[in-house]
Amino acid sequence: MTLDVRARIQRYIRIAVGSDINDEDDIFELGLVDSLFALELVTFVESEFGVVAEKEDLDICNFCSIAALVAFVEARCQNDEDAGRTWTSD
């Protein structure tokens, strides 16, 4: 699952920023994307991984790098599994 999540997030982000970036790079700090991209990322993880970003999740720390997004999606999926919800990746 981790590999799949990471690969899909890497692909999306790399297409968006148009360059080869490291997983830890903060795409907002580096000025690679504008502020509207944060909203796009929320919808991306929700639609791509079937997770729901709750109000308390809407913190830029969860969306600022590939690594942060992977951690966020995995944590959310884990929560959903713990709560007995099914998770579909597509």
Partner 1 sequence: MDIRLTDSQRAYRETARQFTARELAPWAARIDREGVTPPSVLNVIRGCGFLGAALPQDKGGGGIDEVSYGILTEEVGRVCSSTRSLMTVHNMSAQAIARFGDHEQQERWLPDLCSGRKVVAFALSEPEVGSAADAIETKATSDGNAFRVSGTKKWITYGLIADLFVVFAKLEGAPIALVVDRDSEGLRIEPVTDIFGVRGSMLAQLHFDEVRVRKERQLGRVGMGIRFVANVALDHGRFSVAWGSTGIIQACLDACVAYSEQRRQAGRRLKDFQLIRRQLANMLVDHTASRALCYRSACLRQRRAPQATMETSLAKYHASMAAIRAATNAVHMHGANGCSGEYPVDRYLRDATVSGIVEGTHEIHQLALASYALRRPYLD
Q: Which residues sit at the interface with partner 1, rule CB under 8 A?
A: 15-18, 33-36, 38-41, 43-44, 46-48, 55-56, 58-60
Shortest spacing between CB 38 and partner 1, in angstroms:
5
**Residue (34 or 90) nearer to partner 1, CB:** 34
**Residue (64 or 77) nearer to partner 1, CB:** 64
DSSP string, 47-58: HHH-----GGG-
Radius of gyration of the chain measured on its C-alpha atoms? 13
**Residue (55 or 90) nearer to partner 1, CB:** 55
d(CA 13, CA 17): 6
d(CA 63, CA 65): 6
